[in-house]
Amino acid sequence: MSRIGKAYETKFRAILVQLRARKADQGVRWLMDRARYLSREKAITPAQALAEVYGHALHSLRIFVRHDQSRDSMLHGQPAIPRFLCDAGLGGLARWLRASGYEAVWIQDINDDDLLIEGQRLKATILTTDSMLMERRVLRDRIIPAVWVPPTLTMLEQLALIFQELDLQMRGSRCMACGGELLEVDKESVSDRIPPRTLKWLDQFYQCSQCGKLFWHGTHWRKIIQRLEAV
C-alpha cells in the first residue's frame, strides 16, 4: 500500500476512535473499500477517492463533536481552545496559527520521540508531515490527538486544512514570533520604538506579553489579515 493509503488508514481510524466505533478496524476496511469503489465508478485517482470518503467521514465527525461540545458546554462551560505542537518541518504553519489566534509551539530539529513526549506534556494536538509517525500507537489510538499535514501543500493550504479538520474559527491574533498574547499598550509609553511616520497616523499599538515585540495594524498587518480571511 502507498504512503498516502497508509496515511488515510490512520486518518480514518482516528475519526472512528473519536466516533467511539466499537470495531474500528472493520470500519477502516469498509472506508478503504468504499474509496476503491468510488475510484472505479467515477474514474478518479485513488487519492481523490480517499479524499472524498474522508471528507464525508469528517463531516459526520463534526456533527458528533458539535453535539458533544454543546452538551459539555451546558455541563462544564465553554470547551477548551486547542493548543498545537508542530513538527520540525512546520515552523511556517506555527507562525500562521499564532496569527489566527492559537497557541502553536514549534521546536526546531525536534525528533519524533521528543515530539510525542512534548505533545503529551503540553496536552497539545500534534501537527506532522510524517505519515509514518501517525502509525505510532499513541497517535493512532488518539491518546495524543494529531493531524497529518501533506507535505505537498502550501503553507496557507496547510492552515486551511487544519481549520477544516478541526472546525476552527479565527480568534484574536497572538505574537507570530513566539505565540504570546498581544496586549494593547499606551502609545506614549512605546513612542521611542515606533517609526515617526507610523507614530503620526496610528494610535493603537500592541505588545507581546512574552517576548515584548511591538505590533500595529499597518500595511503589513492588513496583508496578513487578507491572507487569513482567504483561508
- Mean pLDDT throughout 61-69? 60
pLDDT above 90 (res 121)? yes
d(CA 201, CA 190): 15
Are 106 and 118 spatial neighbours (Cβ–Cβ below 8 Å)? no
* Residue 145: pLDDT over 60: yes
**Residue of higher predicted confidence among 179 and 142:** 179
Give domain limits for the chain.
3-76, 83-166, 182-229
The predicted structure's pLDDT at residue 74 = 43
Grid coordinates belonging to 173: 491574533
How does the average pLDDT of the chain come out, rounded? Answer: 86
Please give the average per-residue pLDDT across 66-85, as a whole number.
61
Residue 15 reports pLDDT greater than 90: no
**Cβ proximity of 71 and 130 under 8 Å:** no
**pLDDT recorded at residue 94:** 97
83-166 domain in CATH 3.40.50? yes
Q: Per-residue pLDDT tens for 44-62? A: 999 889 888 988 888 777 6
Residue 187 per-residue DSSP state: G
pLDDT tier, 172 (very low <50, low <70, confident <90, very high otherwise): confident
Q: In this structure, what C-alpha cell is assigned to residue 207?
A: 505588545
Q: Could you give the dihedral angle defined by the CA atoms of residues 98, 103, 105 and 106, in that order, rounded to the nearest 10 degrees? A: -20
Kindly report, residue by residue over 189-227, the tens digit of the pLDDT: 999 999 998 888 899 999 999 999 999 887 777 777 777
Whole-model pTM: value is 0.69
